[in-house]
Structure 1
Amino acid sequence: MGRSIPAKQSPARPKTTAKRGPNKSGSRKKKSNGKGGKNEPKNLLRDALLLLLEWGGLSVIGMGAMVLLLGHFGNRFSGTDVFGSLLPFGIGIFGFIIAATLLLSGWKRLRRLLKLWSPILPAGLVAAVTLTLLCMIPGNTFTKAFGYYRTLVGGKEEASRMTLAHQVYAAYRRLGNGQVEKMIERAKPFDADIEDAAKVYDVDPDLLKGLAATESSYLPRKSEDGGHGLFQITQVPKQVQREVDGRFDVKSRDLGSSRYNAFLGAATLQHYLEEMNNDLFLGLLAYNIGPANGGLRFIMQQYGATDFVTIQPYLLKLPRDYPIRVLSYSLAFRIAREEGKVLAYEEGDNAMTIQSLGIPGL
Structure 2
Amino acid sequence: MRLFSRLATEQNSIAIKPENMTARSIKSKRNKPKSNTRRQPKPKARRSAKSAKKKNVRFPDSFKHKLMLAAIELTGLSITLVSAIIVLLGYSAEHFTGTQFLTSLLPFAVGVLVLILFASFLFLIWWKLRRSLQGRAVMLMPVFSVILAVGSGKMIMNDQFAIAFDHFRMLVGGKQEVRRVTLAHQVYAAYRRQGVGAMQQMVARGEKYSPLVQDAARRFHIDPDLLLGIAAAESSFLPRNSSDGGRGLFQITRVPKIVENEAQKHFSGQKLSIIDDRYNAHLAAATFKYYLDEMQGDLLLGLLAYNIGPANGGLRFIMQKYGVTDFTTIQPYLQHLPRDYPIRVLSYALAFRLWRQEGSLPAYQEGSNAVRIQRIGIPGLTSDF
- Normalising by structure 1, we get a TM-score of 0.92
- Closer, same or farther: CA 312–88 of 1 in aligned 2, 3 Å: farther
Structure 2 residue identity aligned to 1:51: A
Within a 5 Å distance, the mapping from 1:1-362 to structure 2 comes to 16-17=35-36, 19-21=38-40, 23-136=42-155, 138-249=157-268, 251-362=270-381
Cα separation, 2, equivalents of 1:318 and 1:75: 38
Highest CA radius of gyration, 1 or 2? 2
Cα separation, 2, equivalents of 1:235 and 1:154: 38
Cα separation, 1, equivalents of 2:171 and 2:163: 12
Structure 1 residue identity aligned to 2:329: T
Cα separation, 2, equivalents of 1:15 and 1:243: 88
Cα separation, 2, equivalents of 1:250 and 1:109: 71
**SS of equivalent residue, structure 2 residue 209:** helix
1:305-329 alpha-carbon deviations (Å, 9 max, x no partner): 1112321322443312211111000
Cα separation, 2, equivalents of 1:203 and 1:139: 30
* Alignment partner, residue 7 of structure 1: none
- Gapped regions of structure 2 (runs ≥ 5): 1-28
Q: Is the 8 A contact 1:282 1:307 kept in 2?
A: yes
Structure 1 residue identity aligned to 2:254: Q
Cα separation, 1, equivalents of 2:196 and 2:137: 57
Equivalenced residue count is 352
Structure 1 residue identity aligned to 2:128: R
Q: Is the 8 A contact 1:220 1:230 kept in 2?
A: yes
Q: Is the 8 A contact 1:210 1:330 kept in 2?
A: yes
Structure 1 residue identity aligned to 2:198: Q
Cα separation, 1, equivalents of 2:34 and 2:144: 61
Alpha-carbon RMSD: 2.0
Cα separation, 1, equivalents of 2:159 and 2:334: 34
**SS of equivalent residue, structure 1 residue 117:** coil
* Alignment partner, residue 4 of structure 1: none
Structure 2 residue identity aligned to 1:131: V
Identity over aligned residues, as a percent?
Answer: 50
**SS of equivalent residue, structure 1 residue 246:** helix
1:277-319 alpha-carbon deviations (Å, 9 max, x no partner): 2222221111111111201111222222111232132244331
Q: How far did 1:169 drift?
A: 0.3
Cα separation, 2, equivalents of 1:192 and 1:138: 31
- Gapped regions of structure 1 (runs ≥ 5): 1-10
Q: How far did 1:49 drift?
A: 0.8
Q: Is the 8 A contact 1:111 1:122 kept in 2?
A: yes
Cα separation, 2, equivalents of 1:293 and 1:308: 18
Structure 1 residue identity aligned to 2:378: I
Cα separation, 1, equivalents of 2:155 and 2:274: 53
**SS of equivalent residue, structure 1 residue 86:** helix
Q: Is the 8 A contact 1:244 1:267 kept in 2?
A: yes
**SS of equivalent residue, structure 2 residue 360:** coil
Q: How far did 1:263 drift?
A: 0.7
Cα separation, 2, equivalents of 1:272 and 1:14: 95
- Closer, same or farther: CA 252–73 of 1 in aligned 2, 3 Å: farther
Q: Is the 8 A contact 1:252 1:260 kept in 2?
A: no
Q: Is the 8 A contact 1:160 1:308 kept in 2?
A: no
